[in-house]
Structure 1
Amino acid sequence: MDNHINAQDNYITGKLPWRERLSYGASDFACSFTFSLIGTYLMYFYTDVFGISAVGTLMLVARVIDALDGPFWGIMIDHTHTKWGRSRPFLLWFNAPFTIFTILCFTTPNLPMTWKIVWAYVTYIGIDVLYSAVNIPLTSILPSMTADPDERVVLSTIRSLFSNFGGTLISVIALPLVGLFGGANNPRRGFFWLAVLAALVFFVIYLFVFANLRERVQTRQSQKPLPIKTSLKALKRNWPWLIVIGLNFVYWLGMQTKGQVTIYFFKYNLQEPGLVSLALFFNAVGLVSVFLTPYVVTKIGKKRTLLGGLLISIVGQLILGLGAWTLSTVTVILGTIVGNFGNGFVGALIAVLLADAVDYGEWKNNVRAEGIVTSASSFTAKFGMGLGGAITGLLLSIGHYVPNKTQTAASLFSIEANYVWVPLLALVLSFILILFYQLTPNKERIMRQELNAKHQKEAAEDAAFSN
């Protein structure tokens, strides 16, 4: 076993070195830098550049398949036992495949329409499945890096900061780079070389991340493969986990519908296509709230911080709706800024709540299954995103959207509904869900005390046995 991993490591209940903190954050910079390119621009690329239709169906099918593979990766993580740990090996094994498929998604072979659609299905499903393979381990490894609740918030905050920055950066520079690489008349070539750049950034960073992360929280169960039947016991009566997976479903459904029509909204509704990069730049506002999250959590707790973030996001979405109604670019930008500030708190805390759900599963059911607990949450998030993609395609179809043409009133409203009203409904439902979250600070304190006592007892017994 890696000599950095042992039950007596001082970092288990204390602060981790900054090299490791920054590596954990860099992992989600890489993920967001590549996958935000796909989430924000791939639908537009398919309809307006590659020239294929029935994109909504493609998005739904791909996301459903991807959602189903989430538990598979979780089971694989729980069943993995290497000298590097359970989650960490996946960061190395699937680095290159994800890099290759990122490029293939924006490759446009000269094919008949039927085969173009087949190519889109294969590459999009492939990138979704491989994204789960490289991203789920980032969440499942968190409860194994440290048992300190404050350090988990710090790690998740750093990860969210990097994620927000990576997603904002690629969103802002994407279209200018497409123009630079492809010129004014060749967006196919421009998107291809942009994908190559994003893929190379991901590949290099993930090698660095793999080299620096460590899995320290080792229990008897984590040092051997877990049977599937045993892993599933961690979900029994795991109420914090149920709330988080519900949140993941509705929240990411709304964010998906909004994100993938951003370019449509500014191009057709506001008739300001040049402002797309500026609007996406304001995603960076979320960096401020992410940075503030650890401080706010210490003052009012995780639940209230999350509810506050959702409430701010709801207000921002309402302002956005006013801007869409009045066609006021200034009001739309203001709503974007307010909404992104709220979203920063939400993004920073979801991974922390999942890590708490891992502990809760062990506390209540005596089963520590990082993989199945975190991947099941990924399942609902991806399914929500898939449904969001299908809703986008359905509404565009109902509105009779035609690429690169002057849109009808019905088409413009379908774009507005995706950008404003579906996300607003998702945020309201997310707020209601978190009202039922019952892992109070006092209950969490008792849980951690009992788990720490259990782990110390196991370590002492194992040490005595080995001697």
Structure 2
Amino acid sequence: MNEKIKIKEIASYGLAGMGQNMVYILSSSFLMIFYTDVFGINARTVGTLFLVARVWDAINDFIMGSVVDNTRTRWGKLRPYLLIAPIPIAVLTILTFLLINYTYSLKIVYIFVTYILWGMVYTIGDVPYWGLSASMSSDTSERTRLITFTRFMTMVGSGASIVGIPLLVENLGNGSEKQGYLLTAIIVSIIGCSLFSLAYFNTKERVIPQKEKVTLIENMKLFLKNTPLLIILFSSILGFSRFMSQSAGTYVTKYNLHDSELYSLLGGVLITSVLFAIIITPLLLKFFTKRNLYILTSIFGAIMYFLMYLTGYDSLIDVLTFVFFSSLSMGFFNVLQTSMIADSVDYLEWKTGKRAEGLCYASQTFFFKLSGGLTNFTMGMVLYYTGFVKDSPNQLPQVYHGIFSLVSLIPGIGCILSIIPMFFYKYTDKDQRYWVEEIKHRKDKMKEKGNQIEESMV
């Protein structure tokens, strides 16, 4: 049950996460500015699109989690979806960046349909992918090792997209952003989804699920019984804006700093910061519990965001410095959230006898997509109500102020809000080890009882 995860599996799982994140960043960080500045769609309309899509995902993600938890195949309950998902994700990603020459109303219909379909097929891959991290080992140290490396690789994928996409759009477009974005989407989708498929080919599910199947209604009841998961999810949603700088950075560099190409530099600094935080998280966990580290790093992030807001954007050096220090909170969050969700899978099995990786990691998928929806909705509303005019080099003062608040003041508020639920999180690694031992003890007793029944029948 506590078999160690092989290096080949860790490498493949991490590379898969890197590929997946290359595609995710293309959509989450560049799709909004593509819709507003290239497609010519109103910022408020685009913001509403992202929010509506996430409301649907609230339903879709948990349905997918229930489907995964009821899957039983010779290849496992999670891995088969990692074979199915990559190609549809690649196709829908490309379609979202395909510029059509229709009327304005039909353009809106097109982006609504393609983006919502993209979210659905992304869920088919994302829920089982992260659920797999809880099934490859039941040992919390092994899982932390796997998750830390994977989160590192996902940020490498993010960095490759954040730094590389603006350069690809510029060089492949030959003066046409329409062509540049489409060709870039094709390249990123093919590379990213090819890497994502490695999660199917080179991994193994070791934690065996219960045989009986669970209905969607039963799964939702289980969800409400998973106290640590509910706390983590509530905290994550309250702190959604800590990731806003990834998307809003495209507007800050283009309008506040008057140089779109600076986004590669800003993004490079952000990713370097997140990678550094991911690397040192296991070291810090030797001195702090996951809960306390979560709270402390969120407070630190809030302070840095607020200082950035007060300092302003007149100096590029100041902006880059505060981007580095404020972004550390993203890296800590990425590792801690995933690790605590993995622990919540064990908690749920200990409490109810049901192991529901799909359900638990559907909540993580839901968070990241809801976070993206809330981020883009907030951006759309700020841009619209401050009087933003696309491609204008001379915006109103409140527009510049509003855009800069998206990467400073608002993320800082999110960090503070995310702390509140964590004061109710009382679970430690010692608790997790107890849950696992209890689960193992129960299964051993059931196996022994089954053997006795078989012997009595002979």
TM-score interval, smaller chain: over 0.9
**Equivalents in 2 of 1:464, 1:457: separation in Å?**
11
Shift of 1:460: 4.3
**1:277 aligned residue (261, 264, 268):** 264
2:197 counterpart SS class: helix
- What stretches of structure 2 of length at least 5 have no aligned partner? none
Shift of 1:315: 2.7
Shift of 1:68: 2.1
1:141 counterpart SS class: helix
1:387 equivalent in structure 2: 374
1:129 equivalent in structure 2: 120
2:308 equivalent in structure 1: 320
Kindly report structure 1 stretches of 4+ aligned residues shifted beyond 4 Å.
459-467
Answering whether residue 195 of structure 2 is matched by residue 205 of structure 1, we say yes
2:172 equivalent in structure 1: 181
1:138 equivalent in structure 2: 129
1:253–1:381 CA contact under 8 A, matched in 2: no
1:39 equivalent in structure 2: 28
Answering whether residue 176 of structure 2 is matched by residue 190 of structure 1, we say no
1:253–1:386 CA contact under 8 A, matched in 2: no
CA 1:459–1:172: 2 relative to 1, 3 Å: farther
**Equivalents in 1 of 2:156, 2:323: separation in Å?**
16
Answering whether residue 401 of structure 2 is matched by residue 401 of structure 1, we say no
1:140–1:371 CA contact under 8 A, matched in 2: yes
**Equivalents in 1 of 2:239, 2:77: separation in Å?**
28
Answering whether residue 138 of structure 2 is matched by residue 147 of structure 1, we say yes
2:426 counterpart SS class: coil
**Equivalents in 1 of 2:400, 2:205: separation in Å?**
50
Which residue identity lines up with residue 260 of structure 2 in the other structure?
P
Answering whether residue 339 of structure 2 is matched by residue 348 of structure 1, we say no
**2:319 aligned residue (329, 332, 349):** 332
Per-residue CA deviations over 1:165-210 (Å, capped at 9, x if unaligned) read 1001110011111111111x21111111110011111232133221
Deviates more, 1:315-324 or 1:113-122: 315-324
1:81–1:224 CA contact under 8 A, matched in 2: no
1:233–1:365 CA contact under 8 A, matched in 2: no
**1:252 aligned residue (240, 246, 263):** 240
Identity %: 28
- What stretches of structure 1 of length at least 5 have no aligned partner? 1-11
1:273 counterpart SS class: coil
RMSD of aligned Cα (Å): 1.9
1:163 equivalent in structure 2: 154
**2:205 aligned residue (215, 218, 231):** 215
**2:352 aligned residue (352, 359, 365):** 365
**1:63 aligned residue (49, 54, 63):** 54
Per-residue CA deviations over 1:307-344 (Å, capped at 9, x if unaligned) read 232233223212321342x5221111111111222321
2:35–2:41 CA contact under 8 A, matched in 1: yes
Answering whether residue 230 of structure 2 is matched by residue 242 of structure 1, we say yes
1:318–1:335 CA contact under 8 A, matched in 2: no
CA 1:106–1:309: 2 relative to 1, 3 Å: same
Deviates more, 1:37-46 or 1:314-323: 314-323
1:238–1:361 CA contact under 8 A, matched in 2: yes
Answering whether residue 424 of structure 2 is matched by residue 436 of structure 1, we say yes
TM-score after normalising by structure 1 = 0.92
1:29–1:166 CA contact under 8 A, matched in 2: yes
**Equivalents in 1 of 2:228, 2:267: separation in Å?**
33
Deviates more, 1:26-35 or 1:290-299: 290-299
1:410 equivalent in structure 2: 398
Shift of 1:75: 0.8
**Equivalents in 2 of 1:295, 1:350: separation in Å?**
16
Shift of 1:55: 1.1
1:4 equivalent in structure 2: none
TM-score after normalising by structure 2 = 0.94
**Equivalents in 2 of 1:211, 1:459: separation in Å?**
31
2:225 counterpart SS class: coil
**Equivalents in 2 of 1:253, 1:450: separation in Å?**
38
CA 1:376–1:102: 2 relative to 1, 3 Å: same
2:20–2:193 CA contact under 8 A, matched in 1: no
2:79–2:199 CA contact under 8 A, matched in 1: no
Answering whether residue 73 of structure 2 is matched by residue 82 of structure 1, we say yes
1:300 counterpart SS class: coil
1:9 equivalent in structure 2: none
**Equivalents in 1 of 2:439, 2:25: separation in Å?**
37
Which residue identity lines up with residue 171 of structure 1 in the other structure?
I
